[in-house]
Amino acid sequence: MAHKPVPEILTRQIVATSRLLRIEAVDLRFSNGVERQFERMASSGRGAVMIVPFIDDETLMLVREYAAGLHNYQLGFPKGLIDPGETPEEAANRELKEEIGFGAKQLIPLKSVTMAPQFFAATMHIFIARDLYPESLPGDEPEPLEQVPWLLSKADALLEQEDFTEARSIAALLMTLRELNK
């Protein structure tokens, strides 16, 4: 399919900066001539990973972690940013060791997903992890993460959990089920 050309970027300017984040205003001209200013988060250039770890053939390991945006604890799959110099697979293995105390001999890529791509450039690479072995690395969390094993056969109950809401974790769970049924 022939797509429209992307809008022309007329100007870009960082309009707000905090310790961790930068907001960029972008003036755009669309192919129909309409001009509009958008705001987006300036990209760190670092992607992220999320891992669906099988601790045995029937059981996933989730983590429960404080989420400052919602100011409550949320259940989801281990995840984190890719460090400079790491491949996504290396980042996935490191995050597993930091968050649940396992490495993985097998990482199966599911899909790379985005989040609110009107605001963010970041891509998250989602993996299934199998053939785990115990190995821990210290993480940078302010408190240990609660580890929550979950039977794959109870996926419906997980989807109904009121603290399992993150769209990327839901997508990861359902893509995993789909992959297993192939």
The least CB distance from residue 106 to a second copy, in Å, is 22
Please answer whether residues 59 and 69 qualify as being in contact, where contact means their C-beta atoms are separated by less than 8 angstroms. no
Closest approach of a second copy to the CB of residue 92, in Å: 17
Q: 91 or 113, CB closer to a second copy? A: 113
The answer to whether 122 touches 115, Cβ cutoff 8 Å, is yes
Shortest distance (Å) from residue 59 CB to a second copy: 17
Using the minimum distance from each CB to a second copy, give the nearer residue, 43 or 105: 43
93: exposed, middle or buried (Cβ count in 10 Å: 0-12, 13-18, 19+): buried
Amino acid at 177: L
Instruction: Note the residues at the interface with a second copy (CB under 8 A).
Output: 3-4, 6-7, 9, 15-21, 23, 25-26, 28, 30-32, 34-41, 43, 64-74, 111-124, 142-143, 146, 159, 165-168, 170-171, 174-175, 178
Greatest alpha-carbon pair distance for the chain in Å reads 58
Q: For residues 57 and 181, which CB has a smaller minimum distance to a second copy in the complex?
A: 181
The CA distances from residue 44 to 17, 21, 122, 131, in Å, are 13, 9, 8, 32
Q: How far is the CB of 69 from a second copy (least distance, A)?
A: 4
Q: How far is the CB of 12 from a second copy (least distance, A)?
A: 10
Give the Cα separation of 177 and 179 in Å (integer). Answer: 5
Q: Given the complex with a second copy, which of 91 and 126 has the nearer CB atom?
A: 126
Which distant-in-sequence residues (6+ apart) come within 8 Å of 140 by Cβ?
A: 98
Considering beta carbons, is residue 136 or 144 the nearer one to a second copy? Answer: 144
